[in-house]
Amino acid sequence: MKCKNSEEYTIYENIRKELYDDSSVIELSSLNATETALIIVDMINGFVHFGALSSDRINSIITPVSTLMKKCSERNIKIAAFADSHKSSAAEFSAFPPHCTEDSDESQIIPEIENICNFTLIRKNSTNGFHAPDFRTFLNDNPKINTFIVCGDCTDICVNNFCITLKTYFDQLDLASKIFVPVNAVETFNAGLHDADFMNTASLFLMKTSGIDIVKEIL
Q: What is the pLDDT of residue 4?
A: 57
Round to whole Å and give the CA distance between 145 and 148: 8
Query: Which CATH number do you get for residue 145?
Result: 3.40.50.850
Domain annotation covers residue 172: yes
In terms of pLDDT, which residue wins out, 38 or 6? 38
| Phi, psi (degrees; rounded to nearest 5) at 119 | -150, 160
Q: 2 falls in which pLDDT band (50, 70, 90)? A: low
**144 in a structural domain:** yes
Tell me which residue range forms the domain holding 48. 6-218
Partners of 179 in beta bridges: 148
Has residue 58 got a pLDDT over 70? yes
Question: Which H helix or E strand runs over 56?
Answer: helix 56-59
Nearest CA to 48 out of 1, 100, 7, 9 is that of: 100
91 within domain boundaries:
yes
With a cut of 90, say whether residue 218 has pLDDT above it: yes
Phi-psi region of 110 (alpha: psi -120 to 50; beta: other; left: phi over 0): beta
38, 78 in Cβ contact below 8 A? yes
- 8 A C-beta contact, residue 188 and residue 199: yes
State the distance between the two ends of the chain, measured CA to CA, in whole angstroms.
Answer: 31
> What is the model's pTM?
0.94
pLDDT at 3 over 60: no
Q: What's the mean pLDDT when you consider all of the chain?
A: 95
Which residues have a Cβ under 8 Å from the Cβ of 10 and sit 6 or more positions away?
Answer: none
What percent of the chain clears pLDDT 90, i.e. is strictly above it?
A: 90
pLDDT digits (tens, 9 = 90+) for 112-141: 999 999 999 999 999 999 999 999 999 999
Across the range 46-75, mean pLDDT stands at 96
Strand runs labelled E in 104-173: 120-124, 147-153
Tell me if 1 is assigned to some domain.
Answer: no
Distances (CA, A) of 202 to 1, 5, 162, 210: 10, 18, 16, 12
Number of domains in the chain: 1
